[in-house]
Amino acid sequence: MTSYRRSTLACVTETLLGLKRRARRMARELAATHPDAHCELDHSSPLELAVATLLSAQTTDVRVNETTPKLFARYPTAADYAAADRAELEGLLKPLGFFRAKSDALMKLGQALVDLHAGVVPNTMEALVALPGIGRKTANVILGNAFDVPGLTVDTHFQRLVTRFGWTTETDPVKIEVAVAGLIEKRDWTMFSHRVIFHGRRVCHARKPACGACTITRSCPSYGLGPKDPAVAAKLLKGPRVAELARAAGAPVPEGATSEEGASEEPAL
């Protein structure tokens, strides 16, 4: 049994079955809230996704997507990364920050793919995590979005939200992945990850979540961490669907909000 505290209740004790039911209810609510959830790293192949995911560390998906068109055109194969001129590669990656380390990571990844997999990105967790620069988080992104193999992507948004949801008290990403895997059906893991990340970027922000303009407050033990007033909370909403998010939560639409607003640039990885 687990215990959690929310502003409107004293201490609530929850059985594992109750937790699973609440988790799946919240997952359904997130699916309805974020029908546009998807991988926000532009790619057209497993290699492009692997590269984009490695580059997304310490920056935003928006900046990665601004950088990768030229990168992908210049280096279409793993062998091209392995044989890259370091100065040229660093020049392309400079806008992302940490460009020397990222250049080194891409060159090593390209060489490993050539040496171990004939230049092809493998489609198993075991093979992916054996590659330089790829851990479980990156591997799950690749498996789920390039190969349709269900996976949970435990980035900073995901970790923050499932903790706020009261689903786990674990802090290690692998242990969080295992805990959430026991609550959500496997077939939903990849899309669930996208929806949680969307919610973290657009609604449940790190410093001030938009609690009063959130669609899952009835099931969330952390309701009240951010402003409860719907009008105040709605002004905290981000992304291209602010008006729709506000309406879905029964909050007033902020003045000037349209469906054409720019996407949040809050980094996730």
Catalytic residues: 137, 155
CB 235 within 8 A of CB 251: no
Region of 250 on the Ramachandran plot (φ > 0 left; ψ -120 to 50 alpha; else beta)? left
Phi, psi of 260, deg, nearest 5: -110, 10
Burial class (CB in 10 A: 0-12, 13-18, 19+), 9: exposed
Neighbours of 100 (CB within 10 A): 12
Distance CA 42, CA 53 (A): 10
